[in-house]
Amino acid sequence: MPSTVPRTERTVAPPERTVAPPEQAVAPPKPEPSPPRRPARASVALVAALLGFTVITVDVSAVNIALPGIREDLRGGMTGLQWVVDAYTLMFAALMISAGALADRAGARRAYAWGIGLFALASLACALAPDIGTLIAARVAQGAAAAVVMPASLALIRQAYDDARRRARAIALWTVGGSVAMAAGPVLGGVLSETVGWRAVFLLNLPVGALILILLARTAPSPRRPAPLDVPGQLTAVTALAGLAYAVIEGGHAGWTDPAVLSAVAVAVLAGFAFHAAEKRHRAPMVPLPMLRQREVGVSLAVGFAVNAGFYGVVFLLGLYCQQLLGMSGITTGLMFVPLAVLITSTNLVSPRLAERVGRRPVIVTGQLILAVAMFALLPLGAHTPLWLVLLLLVPTGIGGALAVPALTALLMDTVPAHRAGTASGLLNSLRQTGGALSVALFGALIGGGTEGAGAAGFAVDGMRDGLVVVGATLVVTAGVSGWLLPRGRSAAS
């Protein structure tokens, strides 16, 4: 055992003495306790995290309202518009599963800065895009950056707040910020695309990104932890999702038996099998397969997929419906989503309390059924539907998903062990984003290829109705599965 005597004392000790007498022994210095985090510095980290989460959320909903302007300027068809939305969402979904490991390896602050910097550069490329292909490529880069920003922003908050109660309040603010951003996105997209042009939707990200980087310089450095990256799993997941989205998007336009569509399906299936094999062999898989065999986990992922398919599908659908078929301006279309966002925010606050009283299972099932009703309620929409009726029919859309998701997330977090919470959260968010992406692909394929109401507007009402029936039926099925498989009772994990 090495001596505990400091080096300066060992140099003057007699050669024959190898251990200092007990009365002269010097105890090893105790590590100094880390100083408490300064409230000001923690608040700066919270603001930086909140701004990042806001800007990647706004980008989803704002671009939906700017799509008609993009179509007119870049001469992109419905397929191009679908990829403008889905290129972002698919990369966001696929990379989010393992982005948390990157944040651990690089440190939350550094990973967050990388993500924000890439997001700003990709936004500039979107704003300068001369054609639809360049815009789609830039959206891929945006989605990859957003996947890094999401988990790193939460890790930044976790690092900034040592006290559990203050941390819980900070995370609550972060969550509310996402709801506000979803509300502001359509309005902002409508105002900017109508007054300045659709490119301003992306240019707005540049000053916000610069402000975030300035704030990050005032936050505490983040520790770096060893975290293995699952490269084979990540590559096969991206390939499978991209193949599936391509098949859905192109199938609606080229036909489901088109050789390119069938090839995309084959690629998606093969990549799915390869993903399963990679996860079985990797020593630290990004998706631990035994976790998926838990009943509550599997149901939670299926419900998250279906709920986002309903919500994001409706946002994409109505953004085009109001502008192309009803002839509404971008500003009016954006303002139409404000009541929807208010409903979502208020229902998000009610859902946890309701789950405590009646149990999570009834809340999750009821939320899905309400959202299914919303899909079927939108079936009468046509070229001459009054705006007040459109707003009224949106009410169950705002209530359904917002009721189910908080209870669903809490159920999942209680089901998995603490050290798997980050993995489970990333997987749930990934499946939710995938549901939204495939729903956009489905609706885009259907509304661009029907007959009734298509005309010069390029919007097929019969295709819209087909899509609403498919998504509504999916929600009914997942609601039934939830009621059958989820545990009953009002316990913490109910």
Which tens digits make up the pLDDT trace of 418-475? 667 667 777 888 888 889 888 988 898 888 754 344 444 568 888 899 999 999 999 9
- Cα separation, 399 vs 391, in Å, equals 13
- Higher-scoring residue by pLDDT: 422, 30: 422
Please check whether residues 280 and 321 belong to one and the same domain: no
Please check whether residues 212 and 313 belong to one and the same domain: no
Model pLDDT for residues 47-56, shown as the tens digit of each residue? 998 899 889 9
Using the predicted structure, report yes or no on whether residue 267 has a pLDDT greater than 60: yes
Please check whether residues 246 and 393 belong to one and the same domain: no
Full DSSP string of 175-209: HHHHHHHHHHHHHHHHHHHHHT-THHHHHTHHHHH
Q: Is the pTM of this model over 0.95?
A: no
33 pLDDT band, cuts 50/70/90, is: very low
pLDDT number for residue 203: 94
Largest CA distance in the chain: 102
Please check whether residues 182 and 235 belong to one and the same domain: no
Given 250, 266, 285, which residue is the final one in a domain?
Answer: 285
Range of the domain at 184: 37-221
| 59 within domain boundaries | yes
Given 177, 202, 221, which residue is the final one in a domain?
Answer: 221
Find all residues with CB under 8 Å of 249, minimum gap 6, and list them. 79, 82, 83, 86, 441, 444, 445
Give Cα 186 to chain centroid, integer Å. 17
Given 221, 244, 263, which residue is the final one in a domain?
Answer: 221
Looking at 389-403, 413-427, 474-488, which range is the least confident one? 413-427
Using the predicted structure, report yes or no on whether residue 256 has a pLDDT greater than 90: no
- Cα separation, 215 vs 99, in Å, equals 22
Please check whether residues 463 and 379 belong to one and the same domain: yes
- Higher-scoring residue by pLDDT: 62, 180: 62
pLDDT number for residue 96: 80
| 118 within domain boundaries | yes
Full DSSP string of 255-271: -TT-HHHHHHHHHHHHH
What whole-number percentage of the chain has pLDDT above 90? 29
Question: DSSP character for 288?
Answer: -
- Higher-scoring residue by pLDDT: 168, 436: 436
Please check whether residues 46 and 143 belong to one and the same domain: yes
pLDDT number for residue 254: 77
The letter for the amino acid at 146 is: A
Looking at 59-68, 130-139, 161-170, 337-346, which range is the least confident one? 161-170
pLDDT number for residue 125: 97
| 477 within domain boundaries | yes
Average pLDDT, the chain: 82
- Cα separation, 433 vs 316, in Å, equals 14
Using the predicted structure, report yes or no on whether residue 90 has a pLDDT greater than 80: yes
pLDDT number for residue 37: 47
Please check whether residues 124 and 196 belong to one and the same domain: yes
Using the predicted structure, report yes or no on whether residue 177 has a pLDDT greater than 50: yes
237 pLDDT band, cuts 50/70/90, is: confident
Looking at 72-81, 267-276, 346-355, 419-428, which range is the least confident one? 419-428
Q: Which of 11-25, 154-168, 170-184, 344-358 has the highest mean pLDDT?
A: 344-358
Say which residue the tokens 């009224």 belong to. Answer: 392
| 321 within domain boundaries | yes
| 12 within domain boundaries | no
Closest to 85 in 3D by CA, of 255, 267, 301, 248: 248
- Higher-scoring residue by pLDDT: 403, 160: 403
**Mean pLDDT across 204-222:** 90
| 20 within domain boundaries | no
| 28 within domain boundaries | no
User: What's 62's domain CATH number?
Assistant: 1.20.1250.20
pLDDT number for residue 31: 43
Please check whether residues 330 and 467 belong to one and the same domain: yes
Using the predicted structure, report yes or no on whether residue 340 has a pLDDT greater than 50: yes
Find all residues with CB under 8 Å of 30, minimum gap 6, and list them. none
What whole-number percentage of the chain has pLDDT above 70? 86
pLDDT number for residue 449: 56
| 325 within domain boundaries | yes
Using the predicted structure, report yes or no on whether residue 171 has a pLDDT greater than 80: no
Closest to 313 in 3D by CA, of 428, 466, 102, 478: 466
**Mean pLDDT across 85-99:** 84
**Mean pLDDT across 363-388:** 93
Please check whether residues 215 and 244 belong to one and the same domain: no
Model pLDDT for residues 379-396, shown as the tens digit of each residue? 999 888 998 898 998 899
pLDDT number for residue 419: 64
The C-alpha R_g of the chain, in whole angstroms, comes to 25
Number of domains observed in the structure of the chain:
3
- Cα separation, 348 vs 336, in Å, equals 20
Closest to 117 in 3D by CA, of 79, 85, 83, 149: 149
**Mean pLDDT across 4-24:** 41
